Amino acid sequence: MPETTLADLQPGQSGTIAGFTNEDDPTVQRLAEMGLLEDEPIRVVRLAPIGDPMEVEVRGYFLSVRRAHARLIRITPQV
């Protein structure tokens, strides 16, 4: 079964962060510092006009994340 990442969520969908797909990516440090960490609920709010980047809500604030980086974040989708 293919892994679900943040990039797969549609606007309005929520999930819980399950980890990172590649811990060695330098971007991971920034994502983690911004509070995107395991067990944290996250919601995709909307997408930019061309579908990239995406606006997400995490820890009560809003963040713009590129799809390429959203793919670094593994997600357990909310059922």
Residue type, 33: E
Give the sign of the dihedral formed by CA 25, CA 15, CA 9, CA 42. Answer: negative
73 binds other proteins (CB under 8 A): no
Under the binding rule (CB under 8 A), the answer on residue 69 touching other proteins is yes
Site string for other proteins, 13-42 (x = CB under 8 A): -------x--xxxxxxxxxxxxx-xx----
Minimum CB separation of residue 4 from other proteins in Å reads 20
E-assigned strands of the chain?
14-20, 41-47, 54-58, 61-65, 73-77
Say whether residue 46 binds other proteins (CB under 8 A).
yes
Binding site for other proteins (CB under 8 A): 20, 23-35, 37-38, 45-53, 55, 59-66, 68-69
